[in-house]
Every structure is written in C-alpha cells, then in structure tokens.
C-alpha cells in the first residue's frame, strides 16, 4: 500500500471517530435534558395526585354533611300527609 492510501484510511478513521463522538455527545445531552424534564413532570403529577386526594376527602365531608342536612329538613317538615279517604 502506498502512503497516500494509508493516509486516507487514517483520515477516514479519524473523521468517523470525530463524527461518532459528536453524535454520542448530542445523544448524551438530549438524554440528560429528557430525564430532567420527565423528573419535573413526575413531580408535577405527584403534586396533582395529592391535590386530587385532598379534594376527594373534602367531597366525602360535604356528602356526610349533606346527609345530615337532609335528615334535619325531613325532621322539620314532618311526615308526609296521607291522602284523605272519601
């Protein structure tokens, strides 16, 4: 092999290493950014789930109070009047 062919092979190898190194660096950066973003989204979902649990607890309390109000109104109104017999 001549010196020109060997030089071309070495240059192509160096070029491939540089390109693949750049691609590796870009992929590592993108992976890091995606991981950070997913961590933020996971934290946001956990916060929302906590808020939903609080709302469910409050709704249960309102339902209980509503039953008590219905019972109190029924006691105030008294029994329903029956139809009069003719």
Between 38 and 61, name the one with better pLDDT: 38
Q: Count of H helices and E strands in the chain? A: 1, 0
State yes or no: pLDDT of 79 exceeds 80.
Answer: no
**What's the pLDDT at 86?**
63
**What's the pLDDT at 10?**
95
CA dist list (Å): 20 to 6, 10, 12, 16, 60: 21, 15, 12, 6, 59
Stretch 6-16: mean pLDDT: 95
The two structure tokens encoding residue 81: 């009047």
Give rounded-to-5 percent helix, strand, coil for the chain: 85, 0, 15
The two structure tokens encoding residue 24: 């590796």
State yes or no: pLDDT of 60 exceeds 80.
Answer: yes
């Amino acid at each position: 092999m001549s010196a020109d062919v060997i030089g071309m092979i070495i240059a192509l190898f160096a070029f491939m290493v540089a390109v693949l190194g750049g691609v590796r660096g870009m992929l590592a950066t993108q992976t890091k950014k995606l991981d950070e973003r997913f961590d933020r989204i996971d934290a946001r979902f956990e916060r929302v789930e906590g808020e939903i649990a609080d709302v469910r607890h409050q709704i249960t309390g309102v339902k209980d109070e509503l039953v008590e109000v219905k019972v109190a109104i029924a006691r105030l109104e008294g029994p329903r009047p029956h139809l009069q017999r003719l």
